[in-house]
Amino acid sequence: MPESQPYRVLARKYRPQTFAELIGQDAMVQTLGNAIKRDRLAHAFLLTGVRGVGKTSTARLIAKALNCIGPDGHGGPTIDPCGVCEPCKAIAEGRHIDVVEMDAASHTGVDDIREIIEAVRYAAVSARYKIYIIDEVHMLSKNAFNALLKTLEEPPSHVKFLFATTEVNKVPVTVLSRCQRFDLRRIPADLLAEHFTKVVAAEQVEADPEALALIARAAEGSARDGLSILDQAIAHGSMESGGVTANQVRDMLGLSDRGAIRRLFGSILSGDVPAVLAAVETQHSLGVEPASLLKGLLETVHGITRAKAGGKVDPALSVEEREAFADWASRLGYATLHRLWQLLLKGHGEVISAALPQEAAEMALLRVLHAGQMPDPAELVRRLESGEVSAPAATPAAPAAPPLPPAVAQLPETPQQLHDLLIAKNAHRLAACFETARPIRFAPPEIVLSARGGVDAAFAADLEKCLNPKFGEDGPRWSISVVDGIGKPSLQDEEKGREAAARQAILESPIVAATLAAFPDAQLM
């Protein structure tokens, strides 16, 4: 009886062995294929992207493509390596002597790079090219990068460098400028779900399409993460059914049922407070994290907004979700959707950082319910214009007295009239200074001002000179003095008081008070 093979996890078992099996990276494959056909191969490649999108796999595929000799042993570099010749097999199994793979996370020093520098001088033993694959290259030390620069810029013709990194911003620009860079994209959820369908078929495992869609979303564009989750989901499935169901995946990942999310969203829109609180409690008892609940609601609002805007339909959505999103999109306005998004986004952030996440989720949803009963700004304007509601009456400012005519016998009766008289005489500097003056006694032509109002004896003298009649004219003689004392409010103080009273009247109006209660961070400008 043959000895059974040890189990390999799906992420290793289904690692791409050809460029055709590399999903979601068509642009890069086309560029490499054209470069190989035209014999325009760079001496160094930098592959960057999030984890699990195929950086290291792509580096090994490039090594195969450059060193493949074909089934007959006479082939040249090709974008479609045969996979059966000795170089292809040796590279796939990680035992080719001319393809050196180094993990920079555990070989960070200049001594490790010095070994590479010494070895590149020697020709390849059996392959067409000697290839160095350095994974997580950003982990190299500064000295190691500096030691590699000269060799990286002018390597021997038989040497190729392949770098892979998840944090390209940590790679020195001097290294980036010496490499041909490829940014590997996140893999779309629909492509991942399609790939997982092929994997479960090869594994002879039954899986619900909805379950595979959930796993594809949870993978966040990473094929390796998705295959690891799928591996776990297959193990999580019952021995009797041997399959993967959507409910099992939700239980395993702590995800909320998307149908329950839609029902909760409907309760929020209808303002049903008991139903919302009951739904939150039910999801909590099922083990759904409060942050995951808010995230599901955010995804719902986003999906409805995209449907309303006529955006591309997410192929990973079920038929029920598409129909529900289309129905809500026809009934909800953009202003309402944007307001729901902002409120839920704020609530999600509060839940993540809250000491009591469950309570924070309930309070956030109650705030959404309260705000949902308020009209949007456009509706408020319509109601104001139609007379359904009236704007709050602000405290009217004291009307400015008209400028005094240049009659000699007429004296100002208030500080404001004196200020206007100074303006009429084009004494703008004195008028500006008088705005801060605090009168102790105002009985023209006698005025006593407080020294605490920012005026002094020089100002009093200038004011007397401006107001007293000139030689040969009849009129009262002004007497203006500045003494120590508190005095009455200045014209400037009175204006600030009127503005504060008007602002307070607006804040206390019912509509504005309700708006500020729903949006605590809002401010009256």
List pLDDT tens digits, range 342-393: 999 999 999 999 899 899 999 999 998 887 666 666 666 666 666 665 555 5
Shared domain for 234 and 170, answered yes or no, is: no
Shared domain for 245 and 101, answered yes or no, is: no
The residues facing 265 across adjacent strands are none
User: Which residues form the domain of 421?
Assistant: 415-488
pLDDT at residue 239 is higher than 70: no
Domain assignment present for 517: no
Pick the residue with more confidence: 156 or 372? 156
Provide the percentage of residues in the chain whose pLDDT is more than 70: 87
Domain assignment present for 493: no
Domain assignment present for 506: no
Q: What is the pLDDT of residue 379?
A: 62
Q: What is the pLDDT of residue 474?
A: 66
Shared domain for 59 and 121, answered yes or no, is: yes
Shared domain for 170 and 141, answered yes or no, is: yes
Domain assignment present for 457: yes
CATH (domain of 58): 3.40.50.300
Shared domain for 467 and 359, answered yes or no, is: no
CATH (domain of 196): 1.10.8.60
In the numeric block, which tokens belong to residue 27?
Answer: 């642009």
In the numeric block, which tokens belong to residue 126?
Answer: 């059996």
Shared domain for 30 and 155, answered yes or no, is: yes
Number of domains comprising the chain: 4
pLDDT digit string (tens) for 185-219? 888 888 898 999 999 888 888 888 888 888 888 88
Task: Give CA–CA dist 436/450, Å, rounded.
Answer: 10
Burial label for 187, CB within 10 Å (0-12, 13-18, 19+), is: buried
Domain assignment present for 394: no
Pick the residue with more confidence: 54 or 515? 54
Burial label for 303, CB within 10 Å (0-12, 13-18, 19+), is: buried
Q: How far is CA 305 from CA 79, 213, 328, in A?
A: 42, 21, 9
Domain assignment present for 503: no
Shared domain for 137 and 224, answered yes or no, is: no
State the residue for tokens 């029902």.
263
Residue after which a domain boundary falls, among 336, 364, 380? 380
Shared domain for 284 and 429, answered yes or no, is: no
In the numeric block, which tokens belong to residue 53?
Answer: 């999108």
Shared domain for 147 and 70, answered yes or no, is: yes
Q: What is the pLDDT of residue 361?
A: 92
- Strand segments, DSSP code E, in 81-156 are 99-103, 130-135
CATH (domain of 329): 1.20.272.10
Residue after which a domain boundary falls, among 253, 275, 301? 253
Domain assignment present for 400: no
Domain assignment present for 228: yes
Query: Is the distance from CB of 160 to CB of 46 less than 8 angstroms?
Result: no
Shared domain for 267 and 344, answered yes or no, is: yes
Residue after which a domain boundary falls, among 353, 380, 407? 380
Shared domain for 50 and 167, answered yes or no, is: yes
* Mean local confidence (pLDDT), 397-419: 64
Q: How far is CA 347 from CA 50, 181, 193, 258, 341, in A?
A: 28, 40, 31, 19, 10
Shared domain for 135 and 240, answered yes or no, is: no
